[in-house]
Structure 1
Amino acid sequence: MEAGLYKREITFDYPALAGWRWPTVDIVGQRPGPRLAIIAGVHVNETSSIEAVIRLQRALDPAKLKGRVSIIPIVNLPAVPLRSQYVCPLDDKNINFSFPGRPDGTFSEAIAYALLNDWAHDAECFADLHGGDLCEEVSHFMVVQRTGDADFDRRNLEIAQCFDAQIIASIDPSHMDHPARSVTGRAKRGQYAAFAEAGRIGLIEEAHVAYHFEGLLRLLHNLGMTDNAPPKQREAVIITRYHWVPGPIDGFYRYHVEPGQKVAKGTLMATAENTYGETIAQVTAPEDGHILWRITHALSPKDSFIIGLGTKD
């Protein structure tokens, strides 16, 4: 492709994806270089990430770019009419935990497979942007898949550190044994990826958009595709265990912690009440750690996840 900005729609030749067309953008630089593939909208209410990739399209100048940037702003197209949280309404599965996918699978499995094996198969790096569905608030954090290969893991961590994160969750190689996030699917292929979280309750807010947008600019610079990048303001805390904390009872939950907050073992994180305002349960931190995210909706059923907690081995 010659240098320039190209807008088009693409399709994938898998049964579950028949009839769907994804709007995409390619920004091709005048000088040779690597390819960065970027997706957003795996969860369609996480609008800070979608806004960031729209902003990136306007910011990149092909005359100053080395290589190629490819963008799919919204992956989960079937979820748009319903504003569906987390899942694709065609199969009730979460695309986010469907990688590496299957070519003969359901919509979520097939699009996960198509993204890795067709659309981004030759990309030097794959960036997957998330953050802040309708009932949640998340810290500025990254997820990195450890593989046990020291050189690969070091480089993957360097990529994550391009984003000005509060926390980096470096997750165990055991995640590679099961369907998981795109960063895990890429690691199984021996390919690098960035997985970014920032946002809350479906809102477009500048601090969260800037986290994604400026992180992508630093990633482009790190890959040698641009000459400049904005400075970082902090160094992330690296955690190695990611706990999904469930609510112990049906209740009206009042939260006592905020995303990004450091907590000690035993810290009161949430209180559950009944509809008479009586306390019926408490949720405390099982270990010292950092709050990755929390649910914002007060009503939660028993065993639904209400807090993400990152800790160290």
Structure 2
Amino acid sequence: MTNKALSKSMITFDAPALQGWSFPVLDVVGKMPGPRLAVIAGVHVNETSSIEAAIRLQRGFNPETLKGRVSIMPIVNLPAVPNRSQYVCPLDNKNINFSFPGRAGGTFSEAVADALLNWAADADCFVDMHGGDLCENVSHFTVCQTVGDAAFDQRNMEIARCFDAELIVRLDPSHLKAPGRSCTGRATRKQHAAFSEAGRIGLMEEANVEFHYEGVLRIARYLGMIEQAPPPRRAPQIVSRYLWLEAPQSGFYRYRVEAGQRVDKGCVLAIAENTYGEVTGEVTAPEAGYVLWRLTHALVEGQTHIMGLGVPD
């Protein structure tokens, strides 16, 4: 089905690892010229709040008044759909989320990362929506990649603030040296991006869907594509470091904090028990900060990441 205002298509890419795969895309084309906004979701297929937001967006823009074009890919990690694979693409067991900028001749995850950046190469902003895999509870936050250029970094922060976030994680330029998130991949090309997180345990809950959906509308307004968008309702806390906290040993974990919570240095975040209910260890906050996300499942293997901690300057 195609018309001048709304185009629904299945697109393909030339990379060898992507042969045989077609990706769903919706394009909302405004009557007036203007910027292009590219939006993706479903890099992790259980993060349904972001996928629902992407699907809804086609109805969120009026072609009669829209300036420019909004391109939406609601599900990226198609190989993960049949078995609802967590985190990784089952074809190569890699996390697409940490494969950007990717490479055309690489595995599926690397190739699709490269293909997505090329698909959005002419976009004024690229939005990647995430949040809440099957065993996670995630706060409302965004990630902003900086490059060390004041003007570029300020604009990226302004885009990040378009989401009504509890927290903004400001990544320093050192992250550009290794494969990372889509916002980092875009920054290597000096192109702007937004990266949003909100959701929990694979549920499609309205508050989390709304966080993603309204954030994209505010970005469109920021770009001058639409006249109005819902105003943000809170001022975010800026954190400059993202700490990944591991379970020290396998066990049954009892969590003591929730996503979004502020914690002091030394605060007990989780207690580990063995199968007899005996305490075998604990996880404490190495620094004061904010809980970006935590696992929800009690059974945890040792050296598994159980929590993300955002640390302010």
Q: TM-score, normalised by structure 2?
A: 0.98
Deviations 1:169-221 (CA, angstroms, capped at 9, x unpaired): 00121111011000000000000000000000000000100000111111110
**What is the one-letter code of the residue matched to 2:151?**
D
Deviations 1:113-152 (A, max 9, x none): 00102x1010000000000000001000001111111110
* Partner Cα distance (1:145, 1:225) in 2: 23
| Fraction of identical pairs, as percent | 65
Say if 1:2 and 1:30, in contact at 8 Å, map to a contact too. no
Task: Name the residue aligned to 1:139.
Answer: 139
Letter in 2 for 1:221: R
- In structure 2, the partner of 1:293 is 293
Counterpart of 1:268 in structure 2 is: 268
1:93 matches 2:94 = yes
Cα distance in 2, alignment partners of residues 136 and 18 from structure 1 = 32
- Give SS of 1:169's match: strand
DSSP 3-state at the match of 1:16: helix
Structure 1 residue 2: deviation in Å?
8.0
Please list, as runs of the form range in 1=range in 2, the aligned pairs for 1:215-294 lying within 5 A after superposition.
215-294=215-294
* Structure 1 segments unaligned to the other structure (5+ residues): none
Q: Secondary structure at the match of 1:122?
A: coil
- Structure 1 residue aligned with 2:126: 126
Deviation of 1:64 (Å): 1.2
Moved over 6 A (4+): none
| C-alpha distance in structure 2 between counterparts of 1:255 and 1:82, whole Å | 28
1:53 maps onto 2:54 in alignment: yes
TM-score of the superposition, structure 1-length normalised?
A: 0.98
Which position in structure 2 is the counterpart of 1:35? 36
RMSD of equivalent CA atoms: 1.0
Corresponding residue of 1:165 = 165
**Structure 1: how far apart are the matches of 2:167 and 2:128?**
17
Are the counterparts in 2 of residues 259 and 292 from structure 1 also a CA contact under 8 Å?
yes
Conserved in 2, the CA contact under 8 Å of 1:43 and 1:130? yes
User: Structure 1 residue 26: deviation in Å?
Assistant: 0.3
Question: Are the structure 2 counterparts of residues 155 and 162 from structure 1 closer, same or farther at C-alpha, using a change threshold of 3 Å?
Answer: same
Aligned to 1:109: 110
Give 5+ residue unaligned stretches, structure 2: none
Deviation at 1:34, TM superposition (A): 0.3
Confirm or deny: 8 A CA contact 1:40 1:50 kept in the other structure. Answer: yes
CA distance in 2, matches of 1:181, 1:67: 26
Q: Is the 8 A contact 1:103 1:114 kept in 2?
A: yes
Q: Deviations over 1:77-131 (max 9, x none)?
A: 00000100000000000000000000100000000000102x1010000000000
Matched, 1:73 2:74: yes
Partner residue in 2 for 1:194: 194
- Other-structure match for 1:207: 207
Question: Do the aligned partners of 1:43 and 1:87 also contact (CA within 8 Å) in 2?
Answer: yes
Aligned length: 312
SS in 2 for 1:294: strand
Quote how far apart the aligned CAs of 1:60 are.
Answer: 1.4
